[in-house]
Amino acid sequence: MIDLRSDTVTKPNEQMRKAMYEAEVGDDVYGEDPTVNRLEQIAAETLGKEAALFVTSGTQGNQMAGLVHCQPGQEVIMESQAHLFLYEAAALSAFAGVQIKTIDGNRGAMNPNDVEAAIRGDDIHQPETGLICIENTHNKAGGAIVPLENMEQIYQLSRKHQIPVHLDGARLFNASVAAQIPVKEFAKYTDSVQFCLSKGLGAPVGSMIAGSSEFIRKARKWRKRLGGGLRQAGVLAAPGIIALEENVKHLDEDHENAKYLADGLQNMDGIVLVNQVDTNILLIDITETKHSNENFIHLLKEHGVLAGAFGPNVIRFVTNNGITKKDIDVALTAVRKVVS
């Protein structure tokens, strides 16, 4: 099966499995796991932040931001198609007790004027704005890169209003590699960052959050409170180190494959490309094929290709390190058969 449902499906390679086997471990709740400590140090340095913390998932990392930065009863501003809003089971509301204020963006980027206009607080009837969240790359916008200048503008206005900024950078390294801008530059315009090791970077488990030492100190407590304090977690952190030191170098292959897929689908009957491919995600609209999402996905699967539904009549393909250019050729043939 050629699995293009997500980059979460990547499996740890041999180098990672070996590193897991050989990992030096200790009790991480005591801060004594040398491999976790090393991963956290590498992540903090790479992002240019004071400290970092290994967390179980992207969803958990994003929750840390809400829990540390916000008070119950506050409001969090984010783009209307943000993963935090659509796909995290309302965790921010459930755990941090905040409500979400969404703003429609352009390819995932919020207009800074709209963000500023959405900030609330003085009126006794209104919640205070406790946090602004940005997602880069933006998943629902098809892996779109939110421009650095846009992040800078939002950060500047956030300083004026003294509101922290959190970056859901689940795929920040994809943005960095495609835009040829170090992750540090993106992270500069944030108070906290979450990025995933277990997506395009190919580690089996985990995300990192980074920020000031004070932010991480509080996040560590929240992680424990939520039952995310792991013990000999070095076996999970070891592939994370390889993800950062080795696998980042290969993300551009995923981007090339996504563009190759887009080129192949461009002129196919009934297929409309939804997004400009910046990174590793391609969305297609299949309305004209007259297939339902379910049916389209089912037929693709019969031809050996897995894809996911991503909105009404929209199918998502995500290239990842388990996919070669040859696999893309097979996927193109499969789509051609489904639409013909």
**Least distance CB 160 / ligand TLP (angstroms):** 27
* Structural Rg of the chain based on CA atoms: 20
| CA distances (Å), origin 202, targets 14, 206, 327 | 11, 10, 18
Our CB check for ligand TLP shows the closer of 146 and 339 to be: 146
Minimum Å gap between C-beta 83 and ligand TLP is 4
Backbone angles phi, psi at 119, to 5 degrees: -70, 130
Helices 234-245 & 34-47 angle (0-180, nearest 10): 30
Output 6 or 279, the one with its CB closest to ligand TLP.
Answer: 6
- Kindly provide the residue ranges of all beta strands, DSSP E only, lying in the chain, ordered along the sequence: 2-3, 51-55, 75-79, 99-103, 129-135, 165-168, 192-196, 207-211, 272-273, 281-285, 305-306, 308-309, 314-318
CB 247 to ligand TLP: min, Å: 16
Supply the minimum distance, in Å, between the C-beta of residue 168 and ligand TLP: 5
Residues that bind ligand TLP (CB under 6 A): 6, 8, 57-59, 83, 87, 135, 139, 168, 170, 196, 198, 207
* Least distance between ligand TLP and beta carbon 151 (Å): 15
Q: Which residues contact 323 (CB under 8 A, 6 or more apart)?
A: 2, 3, 4, 254, 257
CB of 279 to ligand TLP, least distance (A): 12
CB of 193 to ligand TLP, least distance (A): 12
Tokens of 191: 């108070």
Which residue is at the shortest CB distance from ligand TLP?
A: 58
188 half-sphere exposure, CB direction, 13 A CA radius: 13
Minimum CB distance to ligand TLP smaller for 86 or for 119: 86
Contact criterion met (CB below 8 Å) for 183 and 46: yes
Contact between 218 and 68 (Cβ < 8 Å): yes
Q: Decide: helix, strand or coil at residue 244.
A: helix
Residue 332, both tokens: 């193109």
3-state secondary structure of 216: helix
By C-beta, is 196 or 339 nearer to ligand TLP?
A: 196
User: Which residue's CB is nearer to ligand TLP, number 141 or number 339?
Assistant: 141
Least distance in Å: CB of 11 to ligand TLP?
Answer: 15
